[in-house]
Amino acid sequence: MRQHLLEDIRSHALAKPDQFAVCDSEVSINYGALDRFSTSLAMHLQAVGCKTGSRVVVVANRRAIIVAAILGIFKAGCIHVPLDPRMPAARLQYILNDIAPAVVITEEDLRETVGAYLPPQASLLLKEDLERILRLSAATDYVPASDVSLPGWLLDVPAYCIYTSGSTGRPKGVLIDHRNIVDFFEGTEQVYDVRAESVCASFSPLHFDVFLMDMLFPLAQGARLHVHDDIVVPDLLFQTIATHDVTHFSAWGLMLGLIAQASQFSTTPLPHLQTVLTGTDIPNVDTVQRWLRVGTGVKVINAYGPTEVTCASTAYTIRDLEPGRQELYPIGSPLKHVHTFLVGSEGERITQRNVPGELYIGGTQVMRGYWNLAAETEAAVRYLDGIRCYRSGDICIYQEDGSLFYIGRKDNEVNIGGYRVHLNEVRRVINSVPNVHDSEVVMVDSKYEEKVLAAGILLDESGKMRALDVDQQIIRIRARLRDELPSYMVPRYLAIFDDFPKLSSGKADRKALTSILTVRMTKEAEEVITAHGH
Could you tell me if 481 and 427 are in contact, meaning their C-beta atoms sit under 8 angstroms apart?
no
- Torsion angle defined by CA atoms of residues 152, 158, 163 and 166, in that order, rounded to the nearest 10 degrees: 180
> Segment 487-516, which members bind another protein (CB under 8 A)?
487-488, 490, 492-493
Q: Does residue 304 bind another protein (CB under 8 A)?
A: no
Rounded to whole angstroms, how far apart are CA atoms 199 and 246? 5
Q: Does residue 109 bind another protein (CB under 8 A)?
A: yes
Q: Does residue 379 bind another protein (CB under 8 A)?
A: no
Stretch that binds another protein, among 185-193, 254-262, 284-292, 392-400 (CB under 8 A): 254-262
- CB of 286 or CB of 322, closer to another protein: 286
Q: Amino acid letter at 440? A: E
Q: How far is CA 91 from CA 83, 88, 170, 211, 348, in A?
A: 10, 6, 9, 22, 40
Q: Does residue 437 bind another protein (CB under 8 A)?
A: no
Q: Shortest gap between Cβ of 230 and another protein (angstroms)?
A: 8
**Which one-letter DSSP state was computed for residue 214?**
I
The single residue among 255, 380, 429, 442 that binds another protein, judged by CB under 8 A, is 255
Q: Shortest gap between Cβ of 492 and another protein (angstroms)?
A: 5
**Helix ranges restricted to H, 62-216:** 64-75, 89-99, 111-116, 127-138, 178-188, 211
Q: Shortest gap between Cβ of 105 and another protein (angstroms)?
A: 19
Rounded to whole angstroms, how far apart are CA atoms 358 and 408? 10
The single residue among 348, 378, 450, 469 that binds another protein, judged by CB under 8 A, is 450
Q: Does residue 232 bind another protein (CB under 8 A)?
A: yes
- CB of 235 or CB of 245, closer to another protein: 235
Stretch that binds another protein, among 136-144, 228-236, 243-251, 455-463 (CB under 8 A): 228-236
Q: Shortest gap between Cβ of 292 and another protein (angstroms)?
A: 22
- CB of 142 or CB of 252, closer to another protein: 252
The single residue among 290, 476, 482, 510 that binds another protein, judged by CB under 8 A, is 482
The single residue among 116, 355, 379, 475 that binds another protein, judged by CB under 8 A, is 475
Rounded to whole angstroms, how far apart are CA atoms 70 and 219? 12
Q: How far is CA 329 from CA 257, 405, 521, in A?
A: 15, 8, 31
Q: What does 352-397 look like in DSSP terms, one character per residue?
A: STT--EEEEEEETTS-SEETT-HHHHHHHEEEETTEEEEEEEEEEE
CB neighbour burial string for 9-43, b if at least 16 within 10 angstroms, e if fewer: bbebbeebbeebbbbbeebebbbbbbbbbbbbbbb
Q: Shortest gap between Cβ of 227 and another protein (angstroms)?
A: 16
- CB of 350 or CB of 468, closer to another protein: 468
Q: Which region holds residue 311: left if phi is over 0, alpha if psi is between -120 and 50, else beta?
A: left
Binding residues for another protein, how many (CB under 8 A)?
Answer: 32
Q: Shortest gap between Cβ of 73 and another protein (angstroms)?
A: 26
Q: Shortest gap between Cβ of 258 and another protein (angstroms)?
A: 6
- The strands making up 493-497's β-sheet, listed across from edge to edge, are 436-445, 451-459, 493-497
- The strands making up 20-23's β-sheet, listed across from edge to edge, are 28-30, 20-23, 224-227, 199-202, 248-250, 275-279, 299-304, 314-318, 333-334
Q: Does residue 355 bind another protein (CB under 8 A)?
A: no
Q: Does residue 520 bind another protein (CB under 8 A)?
A: no
> Segment 66-95, which members bind another protein (CB under 8 A)?
86
Rounded to whole angstroms, how far apart are CA atoms 54 and 151? 12
> Segment 384-423, which members bind another protein (CB under 8 A)?
417
Q: Shortest gap between Cβ of 284 and another protein (angstroms)?
A: 12
Q: Shortest gap between Cβ of 236 and another protein (angstroms)?
A: 8
Q: Shortest gap between Cβ of 123 and another protein (angstroms)?
A: 25
Residues near another protein, by CB under 8 A:
86, 109, 230-234, 236, 254-255, 258, 261, 417, 446-450, 452, 475, 482, 487-488, 490, 492-493, 521, 524-525, 528-529, 532
